[in-house]
Structure formats: structure tokens, C-alpha cells
Amino acid sequence: MSTTSSAPAQTQKSMADYASEFGLKPDEYQVILDRLGREPNYVELGVFSVMWSEHCSYKSSRMHLRKFPVTGERVICGPGENAGVIDIGDGQACIFKMESHNHPSYIEPYQGAATGVGGIMRDVFTMGARPVALLNALRFGEPSHPKTKRIVEGVVAGIGGYGNCVGVPTVAGETNFHAGYNGNCLVNAMCVGLADADKIFYSAAPEPGLPVVYFGSKTGRDGIHGATMSSAEFSEDSEEKRPTVQVGDPFAEKLLIEATLELMASGAVAAIQDMGAAGLTSSSVEMAGKGGLGITLDLDKVPQREANMSAYEMMLSESQERMLAILKPGRENDGYRIFEKWGLDAAVIGETNTSGHIVLKHKGEVVCDLPLGPLSDDAPLYDRPWVEPDMEAPLASVPSAPVGDALLTILASPDMASKRWLWEQYDRHVMADTLADSATGSDAGMVRVHGTKKALAVTSDCTPRYVKANPYEGGKQAVAEAWRNLTAVGADPIAITDNLNFGNPERPKIMGQIVRAIDGMAEACRELNFPVVSGNVSLYNETNGVAIPPTPTVGAVGLLADYDQRVGFHTLKAGQVLVLIGETAGELGSSLYLREVHGIEAGAPPKVDLSVEKRNGDFVRDLIRSKTAKAVHDLSDGGLLPAAFDMASASGVGIELKNSTALEDHVFAFAEDQARYLIAVDEASAHLVLAKAAEAGVPALTIGVAGGSDLSLTGVMSLSLDELKTANERWLPEFMG
Amino acid sequence: MKATVHIFLKAGVLDVQGKAVEGALNGLAGTAGWSDVANVRVGKVLEFDLKSTDKAAAEAEVKSMCEKLLANTVIESYRIEVA
Amino acid sequence: MKATVHIFLKAGVLDVQGKAVEGALNGLAGTAGWSDVANVRVGKVLEFDLKSTDKAAAEAEVKSMCEKLLANTVIESYRIEVA
Amino acid sequence: MKAAVLVFPGSNCDRDCKVAVEVTTGAQVSMVWHQDTSLPAGLDLIVVPGGFSYGDYLRCGAMASLSPVMAEVVKAAQRGVSVVGICNGFQILCEAGLLPGALMRNAGLKYVCKPIELTIENRNTRFTSAYGDKSSVWMTQGNGDGNFFADAETLKAIEDNHQVVFRYVENPNGSVNNIAGIMNTEGNVLGMMPHPDRAFEPALGSADGAPLFHSLMRVLQAA
Ligand SMILES: Nc1ncnc2c1ncn2[C@@H]1O[C@H](COP(=O)(O)OP(=O)(O)O)[C@@H](O)[C@H]1O
Ligand SMILES: [Mg+2]
């Protein structure tokens, strides 16, 4: 084997120079030298650098991720595979995961977001599931920043362009704007799929001597070093370093889904893995490594889009819409028949063996021969130094404001404004099983489990301003809000996936944010019996030393046994009584009210008491099941009055509220205390609900009645729904216009 | 003056449309009596009228339009003709 | 041989994309220092290689491709170059 | 009733159409691959489903219209078999010449997905007889190229012959004369942008698509 396989000929750099260029730290490179007992060649170094990148190895976060509860009655497969798998009864399973495509979306918004959606779908159908729902959690820079509009435009078009074409409904998501994302937008996409519980496919190669089949699109020079790129900070010159942009082909993805599911149904598949970040490298290394085997690939057989691709380029390419499967003995022809039917390129490119090595051949030469152990098991694991992150102290006092004006301001603010402009570009109804989507007036998206009375409820949540103010409480809150959103539609919350977006973990304060947010999330998951079954970490979201607000996005899935028991907040009727469930102490620290009305971003965020959260939520879910609660909305951003507006506006009927508490009106209207719900009940059942609540120890207060066409707070303010709706609907289309 | 701008994906960037059109043309070739085609690329073309009567100035102006708005230079390259 | 096909919407069919680009260019004109443009039309351009070495035969072949697939003559017109 | 749903590479409403026809009519529905050179015998209905056949690359429906199976669909349509094209299916039928006109980019240049109110313009068709005197119906729509166009002469013919079956109450895409769905002069081929296949039972938000399939059943029962 030549020791300089495929290194660019003209340069005189040493392997150590290349190591640092590829993002390996000197001590990491030393480990490679020690393990190999020799210098790696260029291809081998490339393989190490991507496998040991933050993106593939989770080297900064891995030891903290272990704190998450990952098991539970309904968990079939937790983190570690391409996606998490939960049992939804009747022999069926739900498979889901969330993933980021932050850096690519900043560089090329349309393709970055599109390929993000494509990538997360592959993680799900790789395990045997048909994708049935998509979600996206988006964080953009402040509206006045010169890049924001273009990024929003491209990201939204890219998400729609890909998901719509593949034919999976995009049913929910969230969108924030903040100066903290000016230099790094966040694009987190989640995919949810359905499979038979006894037909789930895994990536570990089961035995030696099996054919390794490549299928999908051809390999080009796209995104080489994408995985290491996404593990680096941006700086002025990152424009120069950017890899060839990956372009998504949703049409190819659609064919790939059908071909993959057909191949699986044919019984030919022994193991399978999509080619995601670090493409052929990570897929082959992981499949062989997990199986405790070895693998040999003949790179000349790889379907190639461009002439003269080097081994290095093929191994590091992140060309999209590609899969790697290990077939059962002698089943190659089943594969070829299916790939031909769907018009996909395919080739047997290698074989599993017992060598414990990955061996790559190219043009008659062995260009890489590495033991698999060090690549995955000995990947660096860091206990990075961390300090308590900056935290906001409780506020001494909160300024007041005229409630009606404040409401108009909040409803028209970028974070609260209707996102119609955006989700009307997403196909939300394809597959004809959508029960609730972004347009519905529902705290979670809902899709039927095809052909049954069951439904999945899905949501994505994080409140970055809380996490910034207190990573631990904010981490708890993100999980609690997701749990609450599922509860509010009548679903049993089952499990979550997450996407941990942070700055540079080598800075102790950032590492502190990561550690404390994970602590908070883990505690909430434990207390709410809401395990983590999959997830993704995106670090180094910084530009010129400025990190994003810590943003641990939670994607959650719940189950309804009978979708006729679902509820939304669009079903309020005149005459119904509004009951506020949960206690309002008057939490206004880091609230939307303070930020939007007074320009203050300060104060301790609302406390999350998980036992209260659980008690209140279980109580509300029972009211939904017994059909007592006719409409339900959780209280989150902006507090009571914006939630009442949502309910009134989605239902087309006014609400008259009354503040009978000792709280000042602006506090009553806008406090963001947790574990609260606004529910509508028939007048006749109102006192029964209050009695039941008292019995269960759940704070409940009758606060108003539905009717008319205004939203009012008696004696304080009254505004027509039309005026409020206009304020809420106007901002985004005007901004994008 | 009249400007014509051609915009294509840069070499090396996957041209999904080109790939699909090539497949379709070659798929039909048999029945339609065409020979096979290769290297299909699909791009955009823009034509418009400019006030400027100076060719060099017009070219500079259209170049600036391409850089700022018409082309996405991360993945696309463009060619300008002014006449 | 190399074929180039230009496809535009027919005159009389509203070119909404052209209108939008025109609006965007003229909207930026002030700050970017451009003069206003007019009559913007946005079309498609296809390039591909043909086996044929005879120009007339190649042209006929490409014309048949346009009629059958590449253009929709209800709304579009096309122009062929073969070289 | 015996029905078939075509499947092109990139079709994504093929299953939706199958289920909608089955649920509303109890028909037997077979799926027909785009490369098939014959259709099942004795079909009463052929559905050309929505989606992104061939990725919508080049022009929506253009490549699919040239699939081998479409030659058979044209023959079946000439024999009088009912053909319904929905969304991408409508685009394919226009490209195949089974319906007049063309579908262009939406006037707003964006994909638009939303519930849409339609008026029924012609109640005396095999697709609409079961709507009774319902004045308007709701279905959802989702497309980027739903802007129907026909030149003045063609348009006049379409209107004069009462070929317009559905019209938008509020035009979402710039379609000429607010046209949402048309049929051929013989009245057996329908193309429409809104999705009856996503509006066939109340849980989906509307069941107003169901009478379209019921209408087709009536024709058969009467025959
Ligand atoms: N990026 C997005 N994609 C899809 N739907 C979105 C997106 N952003 C917001 N939405 C939808 O807009 C509605 C309001 O969003 P949000 O205020 O975040 O909801 P909630 O208060 O329940 O957390 C929800 O239905 C949500 O799913
Ligand atoms: Mg909510």
C-alpha cells in the first residue's frame, strides 16, 4: 500500500499538517499514530477525521447524553441506531428522529434545508418505516439583519420543495427570530414513520461473507468534509473553505423510499444504513463495526457521477439519496430487479468478512486498511471543562403597560406572528391521514395510523430565551412544553427525540450550558416518563466568537388510541365557560411580554415543577377523554391572553375574560407560569370540573365565557377579533413581501 | 440595449433536472427514432431591455445584477451577452 | 454535435416569473445604482450532446424532441441551435 | 365498479386515490405501473393521481404523459371510460392532450397548500350528479403549478360547451376564469387541481370529495 494514497500531488505537507487541516487536534492525531503503529495515509486520515468529528463521534456531548433515560415500556430501540423506535400497540411501531442542517442552510438556504429534510427521512425509512409526518424547528436572525429574509425564503422553499415532492405531510413546527441567530440559523427537521414492530431493520452486519450493495444516486464531489465543517466555527474566511454544496433530489428520494421498502419486504435485507454525514465512510464503518466484523470495498464499483474521483473523495462525499445494504446470501438479483424497476443506480461494492478491518481498494491498489476498533470504539471522548453558565436573577419588579396595546404588540411580534406565509408552502395533507396540522388550531400535529382508529400526535418545542436565562430550567421547560402540547390534544405522550444546538463546547461557559440543559432535560424526561429514543447534537454554532442562544429542541410523539377523542382549540362555542387549569404566580422573567413590550431580555425564567406538570396534565387529559373539555390550549409564549386569542380566533367566537385574582392585570394577562391550560367546558359542567380539580389538588379557576366577536378583559380592554387577527397575520407576509 | 443572461449550475453540482430529462429523452429514443443524448444540462435564461447604450457599462450593470440577484453564485454560474 | 434549446412562454401568455424579476430588479435599482430594466422574460435553456454528425438531421431530431417533450406548444415556443 | 390508479415514478397520491375510491364506492381498485402496456380489462374508472411524477422536472406532467401506460389511457378515454386526473394527474392529462389548455406556475410563484372553496359549475356530468343542489364545496389543494391557462379561443369553447366543472370562489393561483377543474367535450375525462382524494371523510376536515366518486357509481347503477 502506498503511504500517500491519493494525497494531492503538488503539496509538500506532512500527514500531521493534513491532520490539523482536517480538524484533528494534535493529541487526537497522536492517538491515531499510537493505535496504528504507523502514519496513516491520506485516505485513512480522511476516514479518521470524519469518524472522529464532533458530528459523527459526539465526542463533547457523549458522556452527558448518557444521563438521558432511554428505556421504557414502549421503547423498542433507543439512541444508537439511525432513529428511535417505540411500540404503539397492535404490532405496530413508530420510528422517529430529529436532525440539524444548520451550517449548510446558512451557506445555501434552499439546498441546505432541502437536504436536511432528505437526510432525516432516510434515517427513518432505513429502519423499515414509511415516513408519515415531517416537522421543522427553525431559528432565524433578527428581521432587520440583511441576511434574514433571504435565509427564511430559501429555507422554507427548500423544506417545502423536498417534503412536498417526496409526498410526506409537514404537519407542525416552530419558528423564532432573534439577533442571536444572525450568524448561524438553525434548521432542525424531524421525521416520523410507521412500521410493523417485527419488521424493523438495523445497521449491524450480521455475518461475514455477505454482499454489500450500494444503491441510489451516483457519488459526486458534493459536501466533502461536510461532517468536519459542521464541527467548526464560522469565521470570515469560511466562505473559502466551504465544500461543494450538496444538492437534494427529492424525486430520487421518493424512488429510494419505495425501492428500500420493497427490498425489505422481499426479505433480501440483512442490514441496512443510509449514507448520511460522512457518506460511505460512516455507513461502512458503522455497519461492519457494530457487527464486530470487517468489510472490504472495491471503490471502482461505486457508481460515480464525475470522472477521476479519488478514493478520498468517494469516501468523504456527502452526495445525497444513497443507501448501503448488506444482503442475505445470494439475494443480489432481488435487489437488481427492484433497483431497475425504480430506476436507481446500484452495484455490489464489497463484502463483509471477519478481518475486523475496513479495507478499501481502488484501481488495483489497497488505499486504506484500518482496524475498525479505534475508529468507533476508541473515538475521542471528552469531559470538557465547564463552569456554571451565566444565569438571570429574578427581577425585582416588572413594568406595567396598557393590556390591549401590549396584546397587539405581542401578537404582531415576529415570534408570535402567524406563520401562515410559511406553512402554506408545505403540503400538509398528502397521504390523506392528516387530522391536525399547522392550520388547525391544535397544540400538536396529528396523523392517523393508516387504516386504524389510532393517531400519532407530534410536536417540536424549545424556548431559547428560557434556556439562555437558565439552561437547567430551560432544558426542563422544553421537555415539559412538548409533553404539555401532546397532552393538550388528548394524546398519551410517549417519547422524545432532541436536537441540541449550542456554540463552541471548548468554551467552558458554553459547555456549562450544554451540561446544565441536558441535566434539566434528563430530569424532565425521567419525571414525565418520557424517554429519549434518538437525537442529534449540533455544536460550534458560532460566528466570530458569538454563540447562538442555547437551543435544545425537543421533538415529541404521543399516541391517541381513538382519534375521535382528540381535541383542539378551534372548537370553542358561544356560551361555553373558560377554565384556567394550573396556578398563576405571575412569572414574567424572560417573558415575551418583557421582551416585546419593554425591550427587556432579563429575569429568571418560569420554574418548572415536574410533579405539578404531570398532575395538571393528567387531569386535563382525563377531562378530554371524558369529553368534558370541549376545547383545550396549553399556555406558553405570551401567557393567558395570547392563548385566549388563539382559541377565539381559531374558533371564530369571542371570549370575555375576567381577572378575579389578586394579580395586576398585565401580570394576569401575560405571565408565563408553566403547567397551565385554558380549557372550555359546557356551562352545566363547569362546577363539576372545579370540584374534580379541587379533589385532585389541581388549581382551577373559572375565568370567562365565550361569545360575541371581541376578546376582552372586563374593565381593562376589549378588542375585536378581526383587529387582533389582522395584527397577528400581517407581520410575516409584510416582512417577506 | 438587450441583455441575455444564461444561468447554469456549476460543474460538479448535481443537475437533477438535467439527469431526469436525459433519462426521459433516452427512454423515448427507441419509439421516437432518436439517438441517445448525453450531458443534458438544464438552466435558466433571462432576456431584458436596458436603458444604457454603452456596451461596457451595460455589461457591468448586468454583472452586478447577476451577483446580487439573478444568480445564486454558491451553486450557479452565469454568462452575459449584451447587444 | 451540441444542441442548445431555448424555451420561452409565448407572447400573450403572462410571464409571472419575468414580472417578478423585473419588479425585484427595479426595486433594487436605486440602492444598487442600476437603471431600470424592461420586458424581462424568463425561460429555460437546455444543452446536450447528440450522436448525429449531420447538422440538418440533428436539427430535425431536436425539433422532434421539442414537439414531443421539451416544450409545451400550448404555452411555449422554442428555438434550436445545433453546432 | 372496477377502477385503476396509475403509478408513475414520483406519484405520491396513488394510495390516497385508491383508498378514496375504495372507501366511497367499495370498488375494486388495481394499481397500474407506468410502464405497463395494457390496462386491466373492464375498467369503469381510471384515476391519474397527484404527486410529482418525474420530480416535476422540466414541466409538470410532461414526462409522465409519454409513459407507455398513457397511450392505453388515451385509447380507453376514446372508448368512453371515465378518467379523473387530480393535481399532477390534471397536468398529465393536459400534457397528453386529453384535456385542453395547460397548467402554469402559480401567479404567486409559490407552492400553495390550503383548503379551497369551489362552486360546481356543471351539475349534469358523470362526476357531479351526486352533489345535488349543494352550492359550494370545500377541498384542500396543494400545488405549485395550478394556474390553468388556455388561449382565448379555446377558453371560449370550454365555457360555451360547459366544460368547466369546478371554479374557485377565491382564485389562489391566477387560473383563467377561476377554473379549478374541466372536462373534455365528451364529458368522460375530468381534470382538477383540488384533491377530492384528501376530502372524502369528515376526519379529514371535509367529505365534499366523496360525492364525486358517488356520482360515478350512479352512472354505473343507472346503466
Ligand atoms: N416552521 C414551521 N413549520 C410548520 N408549522 C409551523 C412552523 N412554525 C410554526 N408552525 C405552526 O404554527 C402554529 C403556531 O406555532 P407555535 O406558536 O410555535 O405553537 P405553540 O404555541 O403550540 O408552540 C403551530 O401549529 C405550528 O405547528
Ligand atoms: Mg402549544
pLDDT band at A230 (very low <50, low <70, confident <90, very high): low
Place of cell 406519484: D11
Q: Where are the alpha helices (DSSP H) in A167-297?
A: 226-229, 238-241, 250-265, 279-290
The per-residue pLDDT for D219 is: 87
- Quick check: A59 and A50 in contact, CB under 8 A? no
Strand, helix or coil for residue C56 = helix
Q: How far is the CA of A462 from the centre of ligand 2 (A)?
A: 11
Indicate contact of C with A: 3+ CB pairs under 8 A. no
pLDDT in tens, A676-707: 999 999 999 999 999 999 999 999 999 999 99
| CB of A422 shorter than 6 A to ligand 1 | yes
Q: From atom 11 of ligand 1, which residue's Cα is the shortest distance away?
A: A438
Kindly tell me if the per-residue pLDDT of B13 is higher than 50: yes
Rg, Å, chain A Cα set = 26
Q: How far is CA A461 from the centre of its chain?
A: 9
pLDDT tens, position by position, D140-191: 999 999 999 999 999 999 999 999 999 999 999 999 999 999 999 999 999 9
> Which residue, A12, A14, A101, is CA-closest to A55?
A101
Report the sign of the C-alpha dihedral through residues A80, A83, A84, A87, in that order: negative
Whether residue A367 is predicted with pLDDT greater than 80 in this model: the reply is yes
Q: Which residues of B touch A248 (CB under 8 A)?
A: 16
| Closest atom, ligand 1, to C-alpha of A485 | 22
Least Cα separation, residue C68 to chain B (angstroms):
9
φ, ψ dihedrals at D11, nearest 5° = -60, 140
- Judgement on whether residues A526 and A663 belong to the same structural domain of the protein: yes
Residue identified by cell 438495523 is A202
Q: What SS3 state is found at D149?
A: strand
Q: Is A418 in the pocket of ligand 1 (CB under 6 A)?
A: no
**pLDDT exceeds 90 at position A5:** no
pLDDT at A236: 46
Query: What is the per-residue pLDDT for A11?
Result: 61
CB-CB contact of D165 with D120 (8 Å): yes
Find the range with the poorest average confidence among A258-262, A541-545, B23-27: B23-27
Q: Per the annotation, does A122 bind a ligand?
A: yes
Among A174, A190, A569, the mutation site with the greatest number of ligand 1 atoms within 8 A of its Cβ is A174
Query: In chain D, which residues have their Cβ closer than 8 Å to the Cβ of C70?
Result: 58
Q: Where are the beta strands (DSSP E) in chain D?
A: 2-7, 28-33, 45-48, 82-86, 102-104, 112-120, 136-143, 147-149, 164-168, 179-183, 189-192
Please report which confidence band the pLDDT of residue A241 belongs to, taking 50, 70 and 90 as the band edges: very low
Report the C-alpha gap between A368 and A32 in whole angstroms: 14
Domain boundaries, chain C: 2-82
- In the reported structure, the alpha carbon of residue D32 is separated from the centroid of ligand 1 by a whole-number distance in angstroms of 38
Q: What integer pLDDT is reported at residue B28 of this predicted model?
A: 86
Q: Which of A134, A140, A175 to mutate to test the pocket of ligand 1 (most atoms within 8 A of CB)?
A: A175
Q: Which residues of chain D have pLDDT under 70?
A: none
DSSP one-letter code for A576:
P
Positive/negative CA dihedral, A57, A58, A59, A63: negative
Report whether A362 belongs to an annotated binding site.
no
How far apart are the C-alpha atoms of D8 and D50, rounded to whole Å?
Answer: 10
Query: Is the model's pLDDT at A231 over the cut of 80?
Result: no
* Residue carrying the nine cell digits 422544553: A478
- The answer to whether D214 is a known catalytic residue is no
Q: Is A102 annotated as a binding residue?
A: yes
Contact B17 D54 (CB under 8 A): no
Q: Is D114 near chain A, with CB under 8 Å?
A: yes
Determine if ligand 1 sits within 6 Å of the CB of residue A423: yes
Do A516 and A642 sit in the same domain of this protein? yes
Using the 8-state DSSP alphabet, how is residue A475 labeled?
H
Of A108, A111, A244, the CB nearest to B12: A244
Write phi, then psi, for A164 (nearest 5 degrees): -65, -45
What whole-number distance in Å separates Cα of residue A92 and Cα of residue A85?
10
Nearest to C61 among B34, B40, B43 (CB): B34
Does any ligand 1 atom lie closer than 6 A to the CB of residue A413? Answer: no
Q: Which residue has the cell 368534558?
A: A628
Specify if A307 maps to a domain: yes
The model's pLDDT over A408-444, given as tens digits with 9 standing for 90+, comes to: 999 999 999 999 999 999 999 999 999 999 999 999 9
**Rounded CA separation D13/D139 (Å):** 15
A369 and A359 in contact (C-beta within 8 Å)?
Answer: yes
The pLDDT of residue A12? 72
pLDDT tens per residue, range A504-547:
999 999 999 999 999 999 999 999 999 999 999 999 999 999 99
Average pLDDT over residues A97-120: 96
Taking each helix axis as running N to C, give the angle between helix A148-166 and helix A109-125, from 0 to 180 degrees, rounded to the nearest 10: 40
- Identify whether residues A342 and A456 lie together within a single domain: no
Q: What share of chain B is helix, strand, coil (3-state, %, to 5)?
A: 40, 35, 25
For chain B, which residues lie within 8 Å of any Cβ of chain A, measuring from their own Cβ? 9, 12-14, 16, 19-20, 23, 72, 74-75
Residue A487 Cα to ligand 2 midpoint, Å, equals 10
Ligand 1 within 6 A of A188 CB? no
Task: Tell how far CA A736 is from the center of its chain.
Answer: 25
Per the structure, the count of domains in chain A is 2
Answer yes or no: is pLDDT of A115 > 60: yes
Model pTM score = 0.95
What's the pLDDT score for residue A240? 40
Check whether residue A564 and residue A645 sit in a common domain. Answer: yes
Least confident of A56-70, A222-236, A358-372: A222-236
My answer on whether A474 and A344 are in the same domain is no
The beta-carbon neighbor of B40 closest among C6, C36, C46 is C46
Asked whether residue B30 carries a pLDDT value surpassing 50, the answer given is: yes
Tell me, using a 6 A CB cutoff, whether residue A174 lines ligand 1. yes
pLDDT given for residue A239 in this prediction: 42
**What pLDDT, in 10s, does the model give residues A453-473?**
999 999 999 999 999 999 999
Helix spans in A167-303 (H): 226-229, 238-241, 250-265, 279-290
Residue A330 clears pLDDT 70, i.e. is over it:
yes
Measured in angstroms, the CA of D55 and the nearest CA of chain A are apart by 5
Report helix angle B55-65 to C16-32, nearest 10: 110
Report the distance separating Cα A689 and Cα A700, nearest Å.
8
For residue A277, what pLDDT is reported?
Answer: 81
Q: What is the mean pLDDT of residues A20-48?
A: 93
The answer to whether the CB atoms of D58 and B24 lie below 8 A apart is yes
Report whether pLDDT(A4) > 50: no
Confidence of residue A242 (pLDDT cuts 50, 70, 90): very low
User: Is the Cβ pair B74, A247 closer than 8 Å?
Assistant: no
Closest residue to A251, CB basis, from B9, B20, B75: B20
Q: SS3 for D139?
A: strand
| Residue among A181, A93, A176, A180 nearest A130 (CA) | A93
Domains and CATH numbers, chain D: 2-222 (3.40.50.880)
> Which ligand has the nearest atom to the CA of A487?
2
Distance from CA of C77 to the nearest CA of B (A): 14
Q: For ligand 1, what atom is nearest to the CA of residue A637?
A: 21
C17 pLDDT exceeds 90? Answer: yes
What average pLDDT is seen over chain A? Answer: 95
Could you tell me if the CB of A659 is within 6 A of ligand 1?
no
Q: CA–CA distance from A392 to each of A52, A513, A586 (Å)?
A: 36, 13, 17
State the Cα angle at A158 between D106 and A447, rounded to 5°. 90
With 70 as the cut, is the pLDDT of residue A1 above it? no
pLDDT of D27: 94
Task: Give the C-alpha separation, D23 to A562, whole Å.
Answer: 19
- Domain closes at, from A365, A380, A395: A380
- Residue A59 in marked binding region: no
Average pLDDT over every residue of C18-38: 92
Q: Check D52 against A254: CB less than 8 A apart.
A: yes
Question: What span, in angstroms and rounded, lies between the C-alpha atoms of D69 and D89?
Answer: 13
Residues A352, A356, A360, A361: what is their CA dihedral angle, to the nearest 10 degrees? -70
**Active-site choice (D87, D113, D162, D214):** D87
Looking at the DSSP bridge assignments, the partners of residue A328 are none
Ligand with minimal distance to A638 CA: 1
Kind and range of the H or E element at A333? Answer: helix A332-341
CB contact under 8 A, D58 and B17: yes
- The confidence band for A222, taking pLDDT boundaries of 50, 70 and 90, is confident
A206, A301, D8 from A275: Cα distances, Å: 19, 16, 26
Instruction: State phi, psi for A382 to the nearest 5 degrees.
Output: -110, 135
Whether the Cβ atoms of residue A352 and residue A46 lie closer than 8 Å to each other: no
b/e burial code for range A97-132 (CB count within 10 A of at least 16 → b): bbbbbbbbbbbbbbbbbbbbbbbbbbbbbbbbbbbb
- Residue range(s) defining the domain that contains residue A686: 403-420+441-736
* pLDDT band with cut points at 50, 70 and 90 for residue C30: confident
Query: Residue B35: pLDDT band by 50, 70, 90 thresholds?
Result: confident
Give the model's pLDDT for residue A9.
Answer: 58
Above 80 in pLDDT, residue A720? yes
Beta strand pairing status for D82-86 and D45-48? parallel
Measured between beta carbons, the chain B residues lying within 8 angstroms of D66 are 24, 28
Type of residue at A475: G
Do C46 and B21 lie within an 8 Å CB cutoff? yes
Asked whether the CA dihedral A582, A583, A584, A590 is positive or negative, the reply is: negative
Ligand 1 in contact with A158 (CB < 6 A)? no
User: Which residue has its alpha carbon closest to ligand 1 atom 18?
Assistant: A174
| One-letter amino acid of A328 | K
Residue from A176, A185, A438 whose mutation best tests the ligand 1 pocket (most atoms within 8 A of CB)? A438
Distance CA A58, CA A70 (A): 17
Q: What is the grid cell recorded at A180?
A: 442571536
The answer to whether residues A456 and A446 touch, using CB atoms and an 8 Å cutoff, is: yes
Task: Report how many helices (DSSP H) and strands (DSSP E) chain B contains, helices first.
Answer: 2, 3
Write out pLDDT tens, residues A579-626: 999 999 999 999 999 999 999 999 999 999 999 999 999 999 999 999
Please name the fold of domain C2-82. Mth169; Chain: A , (3.30.1280)
pLDDT(A6) > 60: no
Q: What are B36-78's pLDDT values in tens digits?
A: 899 999 999 999 999 989 999 999 999 999 999 999 998 999 9
Cα dist. A588→A389, A417, A469, A471, A593 in Å? Answer: 21, 20, 12, 17, 8
- Rounded to an integer, the average pLDDT of A320-347 is 96
CB-ligand 1 contact for A136 (6 Å cutoff): yes
User: C72 and D66 in contact by Cβ < 8 A?
Assistant: no
What is the mean pLDDT of the segment spanning A545-563?
A: 97
Nearest CA in chain D to C14: D107
